[in-house]
Amino acid sequence: FAGGIVKLQVIASVLPPSDIFIVYVDGEQAAQLVDVQEWTEVPLQLPPGPHRIDFSYQYNVFGVDPLPLSPPQREGAVWIDSVVIENI
């Protein structure tokens, strides 16, 4: 891979302290999304070479007990679509 950008469309209907959504590139946090209620493009720079991209939905990451009531817009879910890798 000569390097470039990976672009993805995301809805992340999550809210701390209940849940969060994190994208990792090669084990490093590249993006954290919360309260994204419409399709949003997330571009991530990738240098030359092989890479690993991990998507992580994390529930109650802060160990809150009991969790507060969720607002009505929180669905506790993440949607990913239109993943595109563009070379430089």
Q: Provide the residue-wise pLDDT of the chain in tens; the chain has 88 residues.
A: 899 999 999 999 999 999 999 999 999 999 999 999 999 999 999 999 999 999 999 999 889 999 999 898 999 999 999 999 998 7
CA distance linking residue 35 with residue 19, whole number of Å = 10
Report pLDDT for 27. Answer: 98
Q: Counting beta carbons within 10 angstroms of the beta carbon of residue 80, is it exposed (0 to 12), middle (13 to 18) or buried (19 or more)?
A: middle
pLDDT of residue 22: 98
pLDDT at 3: 94
pTM of the model: 0.91
- How many whole angstroms separate alpha carbon 56 and alpha carbon 53? 10
